[in-house]
Amino acid sequence: MKRLAVYCGSASPEDPRYLELAYEVGATLAARGIGVVYGGGRLGLMGAVARGALEAGGEVIGVIPEALAGSEVSNHDCTELYTVSGMHERKQRFTDLSDGFVTIPGGVGTMDELWEAMSWAQLGYHTKPVGLLNAFGFYDELIAFNRHMAEVGFVRPAHQNILIARDTLPDLLDAMADYEPHTPIFRMKAGDL
Protein backbone atom coordinates (compact mmCIF):
# COMPACT_ATOMS: atom_id res chain seq x y z
CA MET A 1 0.00 0.00 0.00
CA LYS A 2 1.60 3.21 -1.19
CA ARG A 3 -1.21 5.57 -0.15
CA LEU A 4 -4.17 5.28 2.19
CA ALA A 5 -7.19 7.52 2.43
CA VAL A 6 -7.71 8.48 6.06
CA TYR A 7 -11.27 9.29 7.08
CA CYS A 8 -11.71 11.21 10.32
CA GLY A 9 -13.42 14.15 11.98
CA SER A 10 -12.70 17.82 11.45
CA ALA A 11 -13.72 18.49 15.06
CA SER A 12 -11.42 18.67 18.09
CA PRO A 13 -13.04 16.72 20.95
CA GLU A 14 -12.24 17.78 24.51
CA ASP A 15 -10.56 14.43 25.18
CA PRO A 16 -6.96 14.97 23.95
CA ARG A 17 -6.54 11.27 23.11
CA TYR A 18 -8.35 11.75 19.80
CA LEU A 19 -6.03 14.47 18.46
CA GLU A 20 -3.01 12.53 19.73
CA LEU A 21 -4.28 9.41 17.96
CA ALA A 22 -4.80 11.28 14.70
CA TYR A 23 -1.30 12.77 14.85
CA GLU A 24 0.17 9.33 15.57
CA VAL A 25 -1.73 7.78 12.64
CA GLY A 26 -0.24 10.34 10.25
CA ALA A 27 3.26 9.93 11.69
CA THR A 28 3.08 6.13 11.62
CA LEU A 29 1.89 6.02 8.02
CA ALA A 30 4.71 8.36 6.98
CA ALA A 31 7.27 6.27 8.90
CA ARG A 32 6.07 3.22 6.96
CA GLY A 33 6.39 5.06 3.64
CA ILE A 34 2.61 5.24 3.16
CA GLY A 35 1.22 8.50 1.81
CA VAL A 36 -1.90 10.06 3.28
CA VAL A 37 -4.92 11.10 1.23
CA TYR A 38 -7.38 13.02 3.39
CA GLY A 39 -10.02 15.75 3.48
CA GLY A 40 -7.63 18.67 3.00
CA GLY A 41 -8.53 20.56 6.17
CA ARG A 42 -6.27 22.00 8.83
CA LEU A 43 -8.70 21.65 11.75
CA GLY A 44 -9.48 18.84 14.17
CA LEU A 45 -8.39 15.28 13.62
CA MET A 46 -7.93 15.98 9.91
CA GLY A 47 -5.32 18.62 10.62
CA ALA A 48 -3.62 16.41 13.20
CA VAL A 49 -3.29 13.50 10.74
CA ALA A 50 -1.73 15.83 8.16
CA ARG A 51 0.64 17.42 10.68
CA GLY A 52 1.77 14.03 11.93
CA ALA A 53 2.52 12.80 8.43
CA LEU A 54 4.17 16.02 7.24
CA GLU A 55 6.37 16.35 10.34
CA ALA A 56 7.52 12.75 9.79
CA GLY A 57 8.45 13.59 6.19
CA GLY A 58 5.47 11.90 4.55
CA GLU A 59 3.38 12.67 1.51
CA VAL A 60 0.02 14.31 2.25
CA ILE A 61 -2.61 14.84 -0.43
CA GLY A 62 -5.64 16.88 0.55
CA VAL A 63 -8.96 16.83 -1.29
CA ILE A 64 -11.34 19.59 -0.25
CA PRO A 65 -14.68 20.74 -1.70
CA GLU A 66 -14.92 24.31 -3.02
CA ALA A 67 -17.46 25.23 -0.34
CA LEU A 68 -14.94 24.45 2.41
CA ALA A 69 -11.85 25.71 0.59
CA GLY A 70 -13.22 29.24 0.65
CA SER A 71 -13.82 29.23 4.41
CA GLU A 72 -10.11 29.30 5.32
CA VAL A 73 -9.98 25.72 6.55
CA SER A 74 -7.80 24.45 3.68
CA ASN A 75 -4.41 23.07 4.65
CA HIS A 76 -1.95 24.69 2.26
CA ASP A 77 0.95 22.78 3.83
CA CYS A 78 -0.08 19.60 1.98
CA THR A 79 2.22 18.04 -0.58
CA GLU A 80 -0.71 18.47 -3.00
CA LEU A 81 -4.10 20.05 -2.39
CA TYR A 82 -6.99 19.43 -4.77
CA THR A 83 -10.11 21.57 -4.71
CA VAL A 84 -13.11 19.69 -6.09
CA SER A 85 -16.71 20.66 -6.84
CA GLY A 86 -18.39 18.65 -4.08
CA MET A 87 -18.48 15.62 -1.82
CA HIS A 88 -19.14 13.05 -4.55
CA GLU A 89 -16.07 14.14 -6.49
CA ARG A 90 -14.09 14.25 -3.25
CA LYS A 91 -14.89 10.61 -2.41
CA GLN A 92 -14.15 9.52 -5.97
CA ARG A 93 -10.77 11.25 -5.77
CA PHE A 94 -10.05 9.50 -2.44
CA THR A 95 -10.75 6.18 -4.16
CA ASP A 96 -8.69 7.02 -7.24
CA LEU A 97 -5.64 8.23 -5.29
CA SER A 98 -5.46 5.57 -2.57
CA ASP A 99 -4.75 1.87 -2.20
CA GLY A 100 -7.15 1.48 0.71
CA PHE A 101 -9.10 3.31 3.41
CA VAL A 102 -8.50 3.80 7.13
CA THR A 103 -11.26 5.27 9.28
CA ILE A 104 -10.39 6.71 12.67
CA PRO A 105 -12.84 8.45 15.02
CA GLY A 106 -15.14 11.02 13.48
CA GLY A 107 -18.74 12.05 13.01
CA VAL A 108 -21.39 12.03 10.31
CA GLY A 109 -19.06 12.90 7.41
CA THR A 110 -16.64 10.19 8.48
CA MET A 111 -19.48 7.65 8.59
CA ASP A 112 -20.59 8.73 5.10
CA GLU A 113 -17.09 8.10 3.76
CA LEU A 114 -16.72 4.74 5.53
CA TRP A 115 -20.09 3.36 4.43
CA GLU A 116 -19.56 4.50 0.86
CA ALA A 117 -16.13 2.82 0.73
CA MET A 118 -17.77 -0.39 2.03
CA SER A 119 -20.71 -0.12 -0.37
CA TRP A 120 -18.45 0.48 -3.35
CA ALA A 121 -16.32 -2.54 -2.35
CA GLN A 122 -19.42 -4.72 -2.00
CA LEU A 123 -20.66 -3.68 -5.42
CA GLY A 124 -17.28 -3.93 -7.14
CA TYR A 125 -16.37 -0.30 -7.82
CA HIS A 126 -13.05 -1.00 -6.08
CA THR A 127 -11.22 -3.98 -4.56
CA LYS A 128 -9.28 -2.07 -1.89
CA PRO A 129 -9.19 -2.87 1.84
CA VAL A 130 -11.51 -0.88 4.11
CA GLY A 131 -10.03 -0.50 7.59
CA LEU A 132 -11.57 0.73 10.82
CA LEU A 133 -9.32 1.73 13.72
CA ASN A 134 -11.37 1.01 16.83
CA ALA A 135 -9.17 3.02 19.19
CA PHE A 136 -10.52 3.42 22.73
CA GLY A 137 -13.49 1.21 21.75
CA PHE A 138 -14.92 4.18 19.83
CA TYR A 139 -16.50 1.95 17.18
CA ASP A 140 -17.63 -0.97 19.36
CA GLU A 141 -21.33 -0.30 18.65
CA LEU A 142 -20.74 0.22 14.92
CA ILE A 143 -18.88 -3.09 14.68
CA ALA A 144 -21.73 -4.78 16.57
CA PHE A 145 -24.29 -3.19 14.25
CA ASN A 146 -22.36 -4.33 11.16
CA ARG A 147 -22.36 -7.87 12.62
CA HIS A 148 -26.10 -7.55 13.34
CA MET A 149 -26.81 -6.59 9.70
CA ALA A 150 -24.95 -9.73 8.61
CA GLU A 151 -26.76 -11.94 11.13
CA VAL A 152 -30.16 -10.67 9.94
CA GLY A 153 -29.17 -11.30 6.32
CA PHE A 154 -28.62 -7.80 4.95
CA VAL A 155 -24.90 -8.41 4.36
CA ARG A 156 -24.17 -11.46 2.22
CA PRO A 157 -21.67 -14.01 3.54
CA ALA A 158 -19.27 -13.11 0.71
CA HIS A 159 -19.18 -9.50 1.95
CA GLN A 160 -19.06 -9.94 5.71
CA ASN A 161 -15.30 -9.41 5.87
CA ILE A 162 -15.13 -6.19 3.86
CA LEU A 163 -14.82 -4.14 7.05
CA ILE A 164 -11.46 -4.84 8.67
CA ALA A 165 -11.62 -3.61 12.27
CA ARG A 166 -8.70 -3.67 14.70
CA ASP A 167 -7.88 -1.86 17.95
CA THR A 168 -4.33 -0.80 17.04
CA LEU A 169 -2.92 0.73 13.87
CA PRO A 170 -0.11 -1.84 13.38
CA ASP A 171 -2.61 -4.71 13.62
CA LEU A 172 -4.98 -2.90 11.25
CA LEU A 173 -2.28 -2.20 8.65
CA ASP A 174 -1.11 -5.84 8.77
CA ALA A 175 -4.68 -7.09 8.28
CA MET A 176 -5.24 -4.66 5.42
CA ALA A 177 -2.03 -5.78 3.72
CA ASP A 178 -3.34 -9.39 3.86
CA TYR A 179 -6.78 -8.48 2.48
CA GLU A 180 -7.99 -10.65 -0.37
CA PRO A 181 -10.81 -9.12 -2.43
CA HIS A 182 -14.16 -10.84 -2.26
CA THR A 183 -16.56 -11.53 -5.12
CA PRO A 184 -18.41 -8.26 -5.81
CA ILE A 185 -22.13 -8.10 -6.48
CA PHE A 186 -21.42 -7.05 -10.08
CA ARG A 187 -19.86 -10.49 -10.69
CA MET A 188 -22.40 -12.60 -8.80
CA LYS A 189 -25.16 -14.64 -10.39
CA ALA A 190 -28.77 -14.02 -9.50
CA GLY A 191 -28.87 -17.21 -7.42
CA ASP A 192 -26.05 -15.88 -5.22
CA LEU A 193 -27.89 -12.67 -4.47
Task: Note the pLDDT tens digit of each residue in 103-140.
Answer: 999 999 999 999 999 999 999 999 999 999 999 999 99
Grade residue 72 by pLDDT with cuts at 50, 70 and 90: low
| Structural domain includes residue 27 | yes
Domain count, the chain: 1
Q: Which letter does DSSP use for residue 70 in this model?
A: T
Q: Is the pLDDT of residue 71 over 80?
A: no
The DSSP element (H or E) to which 63 belongs, if any, is: strand 60-65
Amino acid code (one letter) for 184: P
Provide the residue range defining the domain that includes 66.
3-183
Whether the pLDDT of residue 189 is over 80: the answer is: no
* 92 inside domain: yes
With respect to residue 188, please indicate whether it lies within any of the assigned structural domains. no
State residue 168's pLDDT score. Answer: 98
Q: Classify residue 193: in a domain, yes or no.
A: no
Region 146-172: mean pLDDT is 96
The whole-number average pLDDT for the span 13-17 is 97
**Residue from 9, 32, 45 nearest 169 by CA:** 32
pLDDT digits (tens, 9 = 90+) for 76-88: 999 999 999 999 9
Asked if residues 137 and 108 have their Cβ atoms less than 8 Å apart, the reply is no
Give 172's DSSP letter. H
Long-range contacts for 179-183 (Cβ within 8 Å, ≥24 apart)? 179/100, 179/129, 181/121, 181/127, 182/121, 182/158, 183/158
Residue 118 lies in a domain: yes
Mean pLDDT, rounded, for 147-154: 96
Question: Which residues, including other chains, have CB under 8 Å from residue 36's CB and lie 6 or more apart?
Answer: 3, 4, 6, 26, 29, 30, 49, 50, 53, 58, 59, 60, 61
Contacts of 121 (CB under 8 A, 6+ apart): 127, 128, 130, 159, 162, 181, 182, 184
The contacts of residue 157 (CB under 8 Å, 6+ apart) are 150
Q: What local confidence, expressed as pLDDT, does residue 116 receive?
A: 96
Read off the pLDDT of each residue in 136-157 and give the average, rounded to a whole number. 96
Q: Give the CATH number, domain containing residue 91.
A: 3.40.50.450
189 belongs to a structural domain: no
Average pLDDT of span 32-57 = 97
Q: What is the pTM of this model?
A: 0.94
- Is residue 73 scored above 90 in pLDDT? no
Phi first, then psi: what are they for 127, rounded to 5°? -125, 35
Q: What is the mean pLDDT of residues 167-171?
A: 98
> Per the domain annotation, does 165 fall within a domain?
yes
| Inter-CA distances, 78 with 39, 141, 179, Å | 11, 34, 29
Kindly state the average pLDDT of the residues 67-77: 85
Residue 192 lies in a domain: no
Do the beta carbons of residue 135 and residue 19 sit within 8 Å? Answer: no
Mean residue pLDDT of the chain comes to: 95
